[in-house]
Structure 1
Amino acid sequence: MEEYHNGSEGSFNSEEADSVVKECIESVIGGDDYNQSQVNKWTAGIVERCLTQLVKQGKPYKYMVTCAVMQKTGAGLHTANSCFWDTALDGSCTVRWENRTMYCVVSVFAVAVA
């Protein structure tokens, strides 16, 4: 994700978004073990918290956030995304977080508001 001019003013800072997402995941899931009955609550909480924290930064972006939580069972998981946008301003970041019982994959897409 480094191709999105992370340091330039006016462009999407994926490193900053990455740290926001990690904090949000930690605050929602923390040290919990995987529990199927909690997954809907966790994913909704992570998405809402990420959106709230990103919007609080006051940057001129529309954000889209996706979240997937998966139990660790040894199965494979592959994700991909593709975007057609202005790479000088728009950007994305994907965070893969895990603990001993689950994976959480969160993607943030930021589209500049002209």
Structure 2
Amino acid sequence: MDFQDDAAEFSSEDVDTIVKNAITGCLTDVMYNPKKELQPLNKPYKYIITCIIMQKNGAGVNTCASMVWDTTKDNFCQVPWENQNMHCIVTVYGCAVHIDNANELES
């Protein structure tokens, strides 16, 4: 296979169009709702959520993360899921909102 021709170049425009079509197909007519399932926990955390969805075709998938945080309060949960056609890995990072010195900040 000859990778020297223009057809082998990464086309941001083509990828942009495909991604926009996928987003529109999934999110059109869906209302944003800030009150999600994690919020009722009433914990003083900011949540960061990532999701990897990959076709199941025999290829492997590995994920890793490196965090610099308060190991006594912050944590994460990783949930793998799969069916006959796809792998899905959802990771939720919980970063504690530190308000220990709120009175000092107001002074």
State the TM-score, normalized to the length of structure 1: 0.56
Runs of 5+ in structure 2 lacking a partner? 1-21, 99-107
Which one of 75, 80, 102 corresponds to residue 64 of structure 2? Answer: 80
Q: Which of the pair has the greater relative contact order for Cα pairs under 8 Å at 6+ separation?
A: 1
Structure 1 stretches of 4+ with a deviation exceeding 4 A read: none
Q: Indicate the residue corresponding to 2:26 in structure 1.
A: 41
Structure whose residues are more often helix by fraction = 1
Name the aligned partner's letter for residue 59 of structure 2: A
CA–CA distance in structure 2, aligned partners of residues 101 and 56 of structure 1:
33
CA–CA distance in structure 2, aligned partners of residues 81 and 52 of structure 1:
24
**Residues 1:67 and 2:51 aligned together:** yes
Q: Indicate the residue corresponding to 1:93 in structure 2.
A: 77
User: Deviations for 1:50-71, whole angstroms, at most 9, x for unmatched residues?
Assistant: x811112111000000001111
- Matched length: 72
CA RMSD of aligned residues (A): 2.6
CA–CA distance in structure 1, aligned partners of residues 66 and 26 of structure 2:
27
User: Deviations for 1:31-66, whole angstroms, at most 9, x for unmatched residues?
Assistant: xxxxxx69x739xx9xx88x8111121110000000
Name the larger-Rg structure: 2
Secondary structure in structure 1 of the residue aligned to 2:38: helix
CA–CA distance in structure 1, aligned partners of residues 40 and 26 of structure 2:
22
Shift of 1:98: 0.5
CA–CA distance in structure 1, aligned partners of residues 82 and 75 of structure 2:
24
Residues 41 and 105 of structure 1: CA distance in aligned 2, closer, same or farther (over 3 Å):
farther
State the TM-score, normalized to the length of structure 2: 0.59
